[in-house]
Structure 1
Amino acid sequence: MSATTRPRPRPVPQTGPAVWTAADLTAADWMVPVGTEEAAELEAALTAAQAAAPVPPLTRLAPILADVTARLDTGRGFCLLRGLPFDRHGAAAAEAALVALGEHIGQPLVLGGAAVSRLTGPPPQEPGTSGPPRFHIEACDAIALLCLANGPEAPAHVMVSAGAVHNEVMRRDRAALAELYEPAPLIEDGAMAARAVFTMTEGAFAARYTRTAVEAAAALPQPGAAPLPAGLLPAFDLLDAVCAEPTLMLKLEPRPGDLLLFNPHLVWKRRTLAETALDAPEAAQEFRRLRVTMAHSRRTVAEPA
Structure 2
Amino acid sequence: MVPQTGPAVWVAADLTAADWMVPVGTEEAHELEAALTAAEAAAPVPPLARLAPILTDVTARLNTGRGFCLLRGLPFDRHGATAAEAALLALGQHLGTPLNGQDSPVSRLIGVPPGELGPASGTPRFHIEACDAIALLCLVNGPAAPVHVLVSAGAVHNEVMRRDRAALAELYAPAPLLEDGESVERAVFTMTEGAFAARYTRHAVEEAAAAPQPGAPPLPAGLRPAFDLLDSVCAEPALLLRLEPRPGDLLLFNPHLVWKRRTLAEAPAEAPETAQEFRRLRITMRHSRRTVAEPG
Correspondent of 1:265 among 242, 256, 274: 256
Whether 1:146 aligns to 2:137 is yes
Whether 1:71 aligns to 2:65 is no
Counterpart CA distance in 2 for 1:36 and 1:190 is 46
Q: In 2 relative to 1, CA 303–222 (structure 1 residues): closer, same or farther, beyond 3 Å?
A: farther
AA matched with 1:164? A
Whether 1:187 aligns to 2:173 is no
Contact 1:147 1:287 survives alignment (8 Å): yes
Contact 1:49 1:93 survives alignment (8 Å): yes
Partner of 2:169: 178
Contact 2:190 2:294 survives alignment (8 Å): no
Partner of 2:155: 164
Please tell me the root mean square deviation across aligned C-alpha atoms, in Å: 1.3
Counterpart CA distance in 2 for 1:29 and 1:235 is 31
Q: In 2 relative to 1, CA 303–37 (structure 1 residues): closer, same or farther, beyond 3 Å?
A: closer
AA matched with 1:70? A
- Of the structure 1 ranges 59-68 and 186-195, higher mean CA displacement relative to structure 2 is found in 186-195
Whether 1:129 aligns to 2:121 is yes
Contact 2:117 2:263 survives alignment (8 Å): no
Whether 1:286 aligns to 2:282 is no
Secondary structure of the structure 1 residue equivalent to 2:205: helix
- Of the structure 1 ranges 46-55 and 291-300, higher mean CA displacement relative to structure 2 is found in 291-300
Quote the offset at 1:303 in angstroms. 8.0
Partner of 1:4: none
Partner of 2:40: 50
Contact 2:110 2:277 survives alignment (8 Å): yes
AA matched with 1:139? A
Structure showing the higher helix proportion among its residues: 2
Counterpart CA distance in 1 for 2:111 and 2:254 is 22
Counterpart CA distance in 1 for 2:29 and 2:6 is 32
Contact 2:117 2:265 survives alignment (8 Å): no
AA matched with 2:35? A
Q: In 2 relative to 1, CA 290–247 (structure 1 residues): closer, same or farther, beyond 3 Å?
A: same
Partner of 1:242: 233
Quote the offset at 1:156 in angstroms. 0.3
Counterpart CA distance in 2 for 1:112 and 1:40 is 32
Counterpart CA distance in 2 for 1:127 and 1:68 is 33
Counterpart CA distance in 2 for 1:47 and 1:240 is 45
Whether 1:17 aligns to 2:10 is no
Counterpart CA distance in 2 for 1:83 and 1:125 is 30
Partner of 1:87: 77
Partner of 2:245: 254
Gaps in structure 1 of 5+ consecutive residues:
1-10
Quote the offset at 1:128 in angstroms. 1.8
Partner of 2:201: 210
Secondary structure of the structure 2 residue equivalent to 1:104: helix
Moved over 3 A (4+): 300-304
Counterpart CA distance in 1 for 2:121 and 2:53 is 43
1:194-244 C-alpha deviation (Å, 9 max, x unpaired) = 100000111010001121111111111423322110000100000000000
Counterpart CA distance in 2 for 1:141 and 1:167 is 22
User: Normalising to structure 1: TM-score of the pair?
Assistant: 0.93
Q: State percent identity of aligned pairs.
A: 81
AA matched with 2:118? E
Partner of 1:30: 20
Counterpart CA distance in 2 for 1:297 and 1:224 is 32
Whether 1:108 aligns to 2:80 is no
User: Normalising to structure 2: TM-score of the pair?
Assistant: 0.96
Quote the offset at 1:190 in angstroms. 2.2
AA matched with 1:18? A
Quote the offset at 1:302 in angstroms. 5.6
Secondary structure of the structure 1 residue equivalent to 2:256: coil
Secondary structure of the structure 1 residue equivalent to 2:157: helix
1:165-200 C-alpha deviation (Å, 9 max, x unpaired) = 000000000000000000011111221111000001
Matched pairs, number = 293
Q: In 2 relative to 1, CA 289–276 (structure 1 residues): closer, same or farther, beyond 3 Å?
A: same
Counterpart CA distance in 2 for 1:28 and 1:267 is 17
Secondary structure of the structure 2 residue equivalent to 1:45: helix
Counterpart CA distance in 1 for 2:177 and 2:228 is 17
